[in-house]
Amino acid sequence: MSELLPPTEAIHAGNPQLDRLPTTELIDVLLRDQFDAIEAVRSQSAAIAHAVDEIAARLARGGRLHYVGAGTSGRIATLDAAEMPPTFGTPPELVHAHLAGGDAALVRAIEGAEDDSKAGAAQMRDVEPGDAVVALSASGGARFVIAAAEEAKARGAYTVAVTSVESSRLARVADHAIVAATAAEALTGSTRLKAGTAQKIVLNAISTAVMVRLGKVYGNLMVDVVATNDKLRHRALRLIADLAEVERERARELLDAAEGRVKVAIVMERKRCSAAAARGLLDRHGGSLRAVLE
């Protein structure tokens, strides 16, 4: 009796002879296959939106967002979590990634890490009932990830599965599942390809939309950006100049007085108030610049 494989491990019938293709055709095959990832994620837009609303509600009440993954999934999760503080001014602990094998697995494969159920469950020891946990596994079978989702759910956290296999154990374990059914890879079993692309798109959408719901965005502008380098400082100054309708030099003065916080600087100018008063206004309006200004 043949082994029943998940769709992510199936042989791609349309690309059986990669090694015989001229390089230009090989690249075309690999790139065309990526479009399936986009369509697979688009089919899950309602499921993603549901997860966003649930996660945002928990974070608004003081909860945290945890990502859990192994291998490619864990690295994608770690990347997304790392981008939150500079992009949205969040504290590092608000969005935290748990990678099978730990930090060392970011740069090299840790054999057996994804099969370590005990380690997955242990990673959830600090998860609280008000938190949300997004667990990622292309096949939905990584035991580290499944155990983490089970433990998080047992602790009362809201759990979301991000997988490419609807019938997977991970999809069944979680409170809610986002299933981007990317099916067979151009390179058989290499889910770092379109399954990985789908996961990256899903996390981009979740984290960005959650931050929008939390008032971290005004229009389509990153008004909670942290000016940690020259590029971001220039962006912060442009935001203040545009939204406070001031010259560049005045924007620089405001940013300095606001200790680098763009929203505070804008409120100072628009409401003609001190930095302390601007911070107070933002705090009373849940950090929403729009609520303060309008």
Per-residue pLDDT of the chain (294 residues; tens, 9 = 90+): 345 788 888 888 877 789 999 999 999 999 999 999 999 999 999 999 999 999 999 999 999 999 999 999 999 999 999 999 999 999 999 999 999 999 999 999 887 899 999 999 999 999 999 999 999 999 999 999 999 999 999 999 999 999 999 999 999 999 999 999 999 999 999 999 999 999 999 999 999 999 999 999 999 999 999 888 999 999 999 999 999 999 999 999 999 999 999 999 999 999 999 999 999 999 999 999 999 998
**Helix or strand run (H / E) with residue 179:** strand 176-179
- In angstroms, rounded to a whole number, what is the distance separating the alpha carbons of residues 175 and 109? 29
Instruction: Give the closest residue to 195 by CA, choosing from 5, 2, 6, 27.
Output: 6
| Burial tier of 38 (Cβ tally within 10 Å: 0-12, 13-18, 19+) | middle
Chain-centre distance for alpha carbon 148: 17
- In angstroms, rounded to a whole number, what is the distance separating the alpha carbons of residues 223 and 287? 11
* Catalytic member of 9, 54, 83, 253: 83
245 is catalytic: no
- Fold of the domain built from segment(s) 18-213: Rossmann fold (3.40.50)
114 is catalytic: yes
* Catalytic member of 9, 25, 54, 114: 114
- In angstroms, rounded to a whole number, what is the distance separating the alpha carbons of residues 274 and 254? 10
- In angstroms, rounded to a whole number, what is the distance separating the alpha carbons of residues 269 and 264? 9
Q: Residue 95's beta-bridge partner residues?
A: 65
| Cβ within 8 Å of residue 139, ≥6 positions away | 6, 8, 9, 163, 164, 165, 168, 191
Q: Which residue ranges make up each domain of the chain?
A: 18-213, 230-293
pLDDT score at 3: 56
| CATH code for the domain defined by 230-293 | 1.10.8.1080
- In angstroms, rounded to a whole number, what is the distance separating the alpha carbons of residues 22 and 11? 21
pTM: 0.92
pLDDT score at 2: 44
